[in-house]
């Protein structure tokens, strides 16, 4: 007999939850009441370790006093200021700070409110840039299978996660996808696989099919996060950079997940030594406290807009809440704390310990693969009766009951603790995951 969702927890029916099986959740909700440090507290008073850094965003944990105070103080001083034809000093100060953290000539910052908006912004910058240069035929965009670039139409068009695309029509025209650079040769690699750089050559095949002079940009996550933490093979990103540069195509790194410490550096671009033309960020930019994103842009691109724009608006794009004062204040405080707490250095010091811990967990016979880099990892769980998510979804639910919050993606469980976590915190994750795996079997 079908359930009437209106009769399941009627007080929850009004909220249509994102990326959530609403009927199942509302029948057995997991509710978080508060958070402090590395732990959430549930409505029934249990302490749950945040093994997924919120949603990859709370890199410094929760309730950081200096961030809280910065938001509180800003709310009483300037609660909102439009960025359309006006500005406030802190927005410019933060842009200088962020530009200083970016590699090479990525010296200009465009503010957004989310990772999805950062991707849409970057794609529009790429298309407009080529048109301003007299190459308006460059309208094609290339993403990658398995890629996640937010939920705007641009993002799901260049993205490659099937469920994010299949209900929403034909997408943007002129989009193609490279394969995800991963196969069985790379299973259980520690860090970057030492084979697979040749996957980048698939870009040349796609360019031959479409004519390189029609392609505006290639967008990739340096480390694919949402579909299960897939780490690029050694030499892969370097080869993508060489190919795009040869053909005059912009390279966009989507660093919404990898930005600000996840890999032990401000950007994955710095970690890998590969400088793209644009970097999209959000999430850990201000520790997830107030919605915010930003796109870092090469000086050559910015200068092209400034020179072509005359005295008018150079780029017809923006958001009501771009550079929102509360978000900016939180970001300024968070950026200072990354340095003050040595958070990036902490990841570099402990990533080997974290790697060993994740591979130790993966010795279980119900786990078929493990992937890791920095403070990012994913365990792939074997299916029960070949049913997708049959075991991983049970692991996800039981882990929460055992006091550990993790991230579920298909048959994968992602583990990405706050970047200030210590060895004892990693040990706690291992203990609670081992118990969870034993409980589910």
| Residue ranges of the chain whose pLDDT lies below 70 | 1-8
Inside any domain, residue 161: yes
Same-domain pairing of 202 and 351 = no
CA distance 420 to 111: 26
- Measured in whole angstroms, the distance separating CA 69 from the mean position of its chain's CA atoms is 26
Same-domain pairing of 129 and 236 = yes
Inside any domain, residue 87: yes
Same-domain pairing of 330 and 413 = no
pLDDT of residue 310: 83
Same-domain pairing of 141 and 35 = no
Residue that terminates a domain, selected from 288, 307, 340: 340
Inside any domain, residue 3: no
pLDDT of residue 3: 52
Residue that terminates a domain, selected from 299, 322, 340: 340
CA-to-CA dists, residue 438 to 142, 149, 299, angstroms: 42, 35, 53
Same-domain pairing of 162 and 220 = yes
Tell me the angle at which helices 392-401 and 423-440 cross, rounded to the nearest 10 degrees. 120
Same-domain pairing of 282 and 264 = yes
Q: Which domain holds residue 389?
A: 31-60+342-440
Task: State the burial class of residue 300 (Cβ atoms within 10 Å of its Cβ: 0-12, 13-18, 19+).
Answer: exposed
CA distance 199 to 40: 40
Same-domain pairing of 372 and 436 = yes
CA distance 441 to 436: 8
User: Which helix (H) or strand (E) covers residue 120, if one does?
Assistant: helix 115-132
Same-domain pairing of 127 and 234 = yes
Residue that terminates a domain, selected from 340, 360, 392: 340
Inside any domain, residue 213: yes
Per the document, the length of the chain is 441
DSSP 42-60: ETTS-EEEETTHHHHT-TT
Same-domain pairing of 267 and 382 = no
Q: Are 359 and 190 in contact (CB under 8 A)?
A: yes
Q: What residue has token string 């302490």?
A: 47
Alpha helices in 341-391 (DSSP H): 343-361
Spatial CA neighbour of 5 closest among 18, 394, 396, 16: 16
Same-domain pairing of 430 and 349 = yes
CATH number where 389 lies: 3.90.1150.10
pLDDT of residue 25: 94
**Residues ≥6 apart with Cβ < 8 Å to 24:** none
CATH number where 292 lies: 3.40.640.10
Inside any domain, residue 1: no
Tell me how many helices (H) and strands (E) the chain has. 14, 15
Q: Are 108 and 305 in contact (CB under 8 A)?
A: no
Same-domain pairing of 36 and 121 = no
Inside any domain, residue 20: no
Same-domain pairing of 336 and 407 = no
CA distance 367 to 392: 10
**106-112 β-sheet, strand order:** 106-112, 293-298, 278-281, 250-254, 215-220, 140-144, 175-178
Inside any domain, residue 11: no
pLDDT of residue 1: 39
Inside any domain, residue 25: no
Q: How many CA atoms lie within 13 A of 429 on its CB side?
A: 31
Counted domains in the chain: 2
């Amino acid at each position: 007999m079908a359930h009437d969702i209106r009769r399941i927890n009627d007080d929850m029916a009004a909220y249509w939850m994102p990326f959530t099986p609403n009927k199942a959740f509302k029948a057995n909700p997991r509710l978080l009441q508060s958070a402090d440090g590395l732990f959430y507290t549930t409505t029934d008073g249990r302490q749950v370790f945040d093994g997924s850094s919120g949603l990859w965003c709370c890199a410094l944990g929760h309730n950081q006093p200096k961030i809280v105070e910065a938001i509180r103080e800003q709310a009483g001083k300037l609660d909102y200021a439009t960025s359309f034809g006006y500005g406030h000093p802190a927005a410019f100060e933060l842009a200088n700070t962020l530009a200083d953290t970016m590699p090479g000539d990525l010296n200009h910052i465009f503010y957004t409110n989310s990772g999805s908006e950062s991707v849409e912004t970057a794609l529009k910058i790429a298309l407009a840039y080529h048109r301003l240069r007299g190459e308006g035929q460059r309208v094609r965009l290339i993403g990658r299978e398995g890629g996640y670039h937010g939920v705007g139409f641009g993002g799901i068009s260049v993205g490659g996660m099937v469920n994010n695309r299949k209900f929403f029509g034909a997408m943007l025209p002129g989009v193609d996808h490279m394969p995800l650079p991963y196969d069985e040769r790379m299973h259980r690699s520690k860090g970057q696989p030492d084979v697979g750089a040749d996957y980048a050559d698939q870009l040349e095949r796609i360019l031959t099919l479409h004519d390189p002079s029609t392609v505006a940009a290639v967008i990739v996550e340096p480390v694919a996060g949402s579909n299960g933490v897939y780490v690029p093979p050694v030499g892969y990103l370097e080869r993508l950079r060489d190919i795009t540069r040869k053909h005059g195509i912009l390279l966009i790194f989507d660093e919404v997940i990898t930005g600000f410490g996840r890999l032990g550096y401000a950007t994955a671009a710095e970690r890998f030594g590969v400088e793209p033309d644009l970097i999209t960020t959000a999430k850990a930019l201000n520790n997830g406290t107030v919605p915010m994103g930003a796109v870092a842009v090469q000086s050559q691109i910015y200068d092209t807009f400034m020179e072509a724009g005359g005295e008018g608006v150079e780029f017809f794009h923006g958001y009501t809440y771009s550079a929102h004062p509360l978000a900016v204040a939180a970001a300024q405080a968070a950026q200072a704390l990354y340095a003050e707490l040595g958070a990036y250095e902490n990841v570099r010091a402990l990533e080997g310990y974290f790697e060993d811990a994740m591979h130790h967990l993966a010795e279980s016979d119900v786990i078929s693969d493990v992937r890791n880099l920095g403070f990012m990892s994913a365990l792939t769980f074997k299916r029960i009766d070949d049913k997708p998510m049959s075991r991983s979804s049970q692991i996800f639910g039981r882990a929460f009951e055992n006091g550990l919050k993790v991230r579920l993606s298909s048959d994968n469980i992602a583990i990405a603790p706050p970047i200030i976590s210590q060895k004892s915190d990693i040990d706690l994750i291992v203990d609670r995951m081992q118990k969870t795996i034993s409980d589910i079997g």
